[in-house]
C-alpha cells in the first residue's frame, strides 16, 4: 500500500471489515479524513493507517 494512494469507500470497507454506513459515519464525524473528487469520495491510505493506529492505542 502506497501512502499517497487514494482508496474508495469500498476499499476502506474491505480493509477495516466494516459496512458502508460505518465508513461514511467515520467520514461524517471527521475521524477518517477524505476528499471529494466530483461526486466520488476518496480516503488517503495513510489516513486509514493512522485511524487503525489510533484505535490500537486506545485499546491498549
Domain membership flag for residue 1 = no
- Write down the pLDDT at residue 1: 60
* 29 within some domain: yes
Domain assignment present for residue 23? The answer is yes
- CATH number of the domain that residue 10 is part of: 1.10.1660
Residue that has been written with the C-alpha cell 466494516 in this structure: 18
Residue 48 lies in a domain: yes
The answer to whether residue 22 sits within a structural domain is yes
Q: What string of DSSP letters covers 13-36?
A: HHHHT--HHHHHHHHHTTSS--EE
pLDDT tens, 2-58? Answer: 668 999 999 999 999 999 999 999 999 999 999 999 999 999 999 999 999 999 999
Look at the chain and count its residues: 60
Amino acid at each position: 500500500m502506497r501512502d499517497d494512494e487514494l482508496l474508495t469507500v469500498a476499499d476502506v470497507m474491505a480493509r477495516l471489515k466494516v459496512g458502508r454506513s460505518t465508513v461514511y459515519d467515520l467520514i461524517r464525524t471527521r475521524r477518517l479524513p477524505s476528499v471529494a473528487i466530483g461526486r466520488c469520495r476518496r480516503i488517503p491510505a495513510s489516513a486509514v493507517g493512522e485511524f487503525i493506529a489510533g484505535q490500537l492505542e486506545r485499546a491498549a
